[in-house]
Amino acid sequence: GTNNIQLIATQKWLHFNVIQPLQSWAEVRRLNYPVFTFRTEVSDIQKTVPARWNIPATEVNLNGANYDAVKSKDKLDTKLFWDVN
């Protein structure tokens, strides 16, 4: 059978990809669709699709005390609190 959630999620990704790319990225995190192949090379540092953006350098520099509390989680593969998939 057809997976309606997969079809809807793919259409949302196609729609948002051009006009709101960050929303498109968030929808993939939320629904796990569409499924992408992430090609890596031996020399690549990042081996998976990023699960989050890093905290900006301005935040690190201007809000160091609070950044110190979360810097261990400031990695591209750390899931966001709402990414339950």
Q: What count of other Cβ atoms lies within 10 Å of the Cβ of residue 34?
A: 15
pLDDT digits (tens, 9 = 90+) for 35-66: 888 788 888 877 777 888 889 999 999 999 99
Query: Given this model, what pLDDT does residue 2 score?
Result: 66
Q: What is the pTM of this model?
A: 0.60
Boundaries of every domain in the chain: 4-73
Q: How many C-beta atoms lie closer than 10 Å to residue 75's C-beta?
A: 12
pLDDT of residue 66: 93
The pLDDT assigned to 61 comes to 94
Whole-number pLDDT of residue 39: 80
pLDDT for position 1: 54
At 20 the three-state DSSP class reads coil
Backbone conformation region of residue 17, classed left if phi is above 0, alpha if psi is from -120 to 50, else beta: alpha
How many CA atoms does the CB half-sphere of 19 hold within 13 Å?
Answer: 4
